[in-house]
Amino acid sequence: MCLAIPGKIKSIELQYDGRVRMAKVVFGGIVKEASLDMVPDAQIGDYVLVHVGVAISIVDEEEAQKTFQYLSEIGEIDELVESCQL
Amino acid sequence: MKFLSEYRDPQLVEQYLNELHKVTTQPWTIMEICGGQTHSLVKNGILDLLPQKIRMVHGPGCPVCVTPLNLIDKAVYLAEEKGVILCSFGDMIRVPGSQKSLLEAKANGADVRILYSPLEAVKLAQENPTKEVVFFAVGFETTAPANALSVVYAQRLGLKNYSILASHVLVPPAMEAIMNDDEARIQSFLAAGHVCTIMGLAEYYPLVEKHKVPMVVTGFEPIDLLQGILMTVKQLEKGEAKLENQYSRVVKAEGNPAAQKTIEQVFKIADREWRGIGTIPNSGWEVRDELAEFDANQKFTVNIIKVPECPDCIAGLVLKGIKKPYECSQFGKKCNPEKPLGAPMVSSEGACAAYYHFKNVGEMEMAEA
């Protein structure tokens, strides 16, 4: 149920009463519509996390790198701790 | 796909597993709250790759599974007796009520529709001005903004034929209930990444503080889960209990303020009955009184009798992490995805369905023995 998938905003248009920013979001070739009401700063080209037709977060590119750096960082910290203990 | 494929990289998975095997020295029990995480763990074979000392227990984070029987009966009644267009997510349509599921009601001629989003239900109401459209709005905090937005849009459009049958549940009260259950014995939690995307971290600090349990907000891809488990085990091994955020590319400390505001506008806190678990105080949301015209519960009079659960189904024990799905005498026998006895066998997030689809039952029993 809480499944949400990151996709790239391709275009934005106004729908419903003309006040709702709806985006066309591309997920690896598949295009779905999503409301941008919960992410008012989102722009074309941004990656947003979409859940049941509503974008709920803009993916933070900088933070996204942290998972790849985590192991080398904890390795360096462990080495530092060990060298301090010697 | 960007932000997805790179979190499935086999080499990095191996590096995380090596580190996890290196740091784990004692047996630990970790509960992942969210059913989406359960499925990812089982489907990607992660449970079999973890150090044997780590025991993952699957939590109640499957909204379809905890939606009370009585409410499903109510939805069936609305579809069959009140002639409404009853819409919901695919999983919800297949969960058995006391007599039948919504899918069976549809087969009998009721107008039941499977939708991807509640916003589509608003469009459906616009297109069918002479019919009542009811969206069966289940979900945790993640889904609440979408369900709330459907009410906001319907109100703005002046629609008089749209309402939601809300069954909204909240994660922190469920965690509290699990921690207070002596049988559960959970030592740490992977908190649900998308729930925290909406609500932020604030409400989890008191739980960590009170119960002295490590908690790591975690994503859903294999590497997210392995990093979340590694961060948790490192805390457990050091005897720490902190709240950490593995899923920072999506989850901000404050959550999503626009979403919280929309939820606040449409819903109020209420006691909720959780299927298989019982009533938990202040554990859900219902539609605010001033929006009663959009609340199917208030809009329609429904006279149905409350029926007890199927006695063969141990869903409650599975949802609290006390029993594994294959410990149920009916697992894969009288109960299977084609003909489920309980909701966890139906939902794409239910633990029983995950084990049925992706695990070999014989192997499971041997591993446990």
Interface of B with A in 318-357 (CB under 8 A): 347-349
CA–CA separation, B369 and B366 (whole Å): 5
CB proximity B117 to A under 8 Å: yes
Kindly state whether residue B305 falls inside one of the protein's structural domains. Answer: no
| pTM as predicted | 0.92
- pLDDT confidence band for B363 (50 / 70 / 90): low
Read off the pLDDT of residues B215-248 as tens digits, 9 standing for 90 and up: 999 999 999 999 999 999 999 999 999 999 999 9
State the Cα–Cα distance between residues B228 and B222, nearest whole angstrom.
10
Residues B87, B156, single domain; the answer is yes
Report residue B298 CA to chain centroid gap.
Answer: 25
| Pairs of residues, one from chain A and one from chain B, whose beta carbons lie less than 8 Å apart | 133
Instruction: Give ipTM to 2 decimals.
Output: 0.90
pLDDT, mean over chain A = 90
The CATH number given to whatever domain includes residue B259 is 3.40.50.11740
Determine contact, residues A28/A10, Cβ cutoff 8 Å. Answer: no
∠ CA(B177), CA(B180), CA(B184), 5° rounding? Answer: 90
State CA B114 to chain mean position distance: 18
Comparing B12-16, B22-26, B232-236, B365-369, the range with the smallest average pLDDT is B365-369
Give Cα separations from A56 to B96, B161, B162, B177, B222 (angstroms).
31, 27, 24, 28, 22
pLDDT at position A9 over 60? yes
The arithmetic mean of pLDDT across residues A51-55, rounded, is 96
For residue A2, give the chain B residue with the closest CA.
B142
**Residue of chain A whose Cα is closest to the Cα of B234:** A74
**Would you state the pLDDT for residue B367?**
58
Mean pLDDT over A4-8 rounds to: 94
Picking from B208, B225, B245, the residue at the C-terminal end of a domain is B245
Question: B228 lies in which domain range?
Answer: 5-64+181-245
Structure tokens at A72: 């080398």
Sheet with B188-192: strands ordered across: B54-61, B28-34, B188-192, B215-218, B243-245
Mutate to test the interface with B, among A41, A47, A52 (most CBs of B within 10 A): A52
- C-alpha–C-alpha distance, residues B97 and B136, integer Å: 14
Which pLDDT does position B137 carry in this prediction?
A: 96
Is residue A86 predicted with pLDDT exceeding 90? no
* pLDDT higher than 80, residue B157: yes
- Does one domain contain both B340 and B288? no
Give me A48's structure tokens.
């947003």
Q: Considering only A75-84, B156-165, B222-231, which range has the smallest mean pLDDT? A: A75-84
pLDDT of B31 higher than 60:
yes
* B12 lies in some domain: yes
pLDDT of residue B302: 86
Contact: A38, B256; criterion CB under 8 Å: yes
Distance from CA of B142 to the nearest CA of A (A): 6
pLDDT digits (tens, 9 = 90+) for B34-91: 999 999 999 999 999 999 999 999 998 888 888 999 999 999 999 999 989 999 999 8
Assigned domain for B311 exists? no
In a domain, B310, yes or no: no
The answer to whether residue B306 sits within a structural domain is no
pLDDT at B366 over 60: no
In order of their start, the domains of chain A are 5-83 (2.30.30.140)
Question: Residues B21, B152: one domain?
Answer: no
pLDDT digits (tens, 9 = 90+) for B268-318: 999 999 988 889 999 999 999 999 999 999 999 888 888 888 888 898 888
Task: Give the DSSP per-residue string, B177-236.
Answer: HHHT-TTT---EEEEEHHHHHHH-SGGGHHHHHHHT--EEEE-SSHHHHHHHHHHHHHHH
Residue A18 binned pLDDT confidence (cut-offs 50, 70, 90): confident
Position B232 in a domain: yes
Contact B117 A52 (CB under 8 A): yes
Residue range B89-116, pLDDT digits in tens: 998 999 889 899 999 999 999 999 999 9
**Minimum CA–CA partner of A41 in chain B:** B258
Q: What is the DSSP string of B159-182?
A: -SSEEEEEEEE-HHHHHHHHHT-T
- B368 pLDDT above the threshold of 60: no
B34–A contact, CB cutoff 8 A = yes
What is the widest separation between alpha-carbon atoms in chain A? 69
Does B294 share its domain with B263?
yes
Domain count, chain B: 3
Claim to verify: residue B277 and residue B343 sit in the same structural domain: no
Query: How many angstroms separate the CA atoms of B228 and B50, rounded?
Result: 13
- The DSSP secondary structure of A24-83, one letter per residue, reads EEEETTEEEEEE-TT-TT--TT-EEEEETTEEEEE--HHHHTHHHHHHHHHHHHHHHHHH
Q: What residues of chain A, 4 to 23, have a C-beta less than 8 Å from chain B?
A: 4-6, 8, 16-17, 19-20
Each residue's pLDDT tens digit, B189-221: 999 999 999 999 999 999 999 999 999 999 999
Confidence of residue B121 (pLDDT cuts 50, 70, 90): very high
Do B54 and B132 fall within a single domain? no
- Is B59 in the A-facing interface, judged by CB distances under 8 Å? no
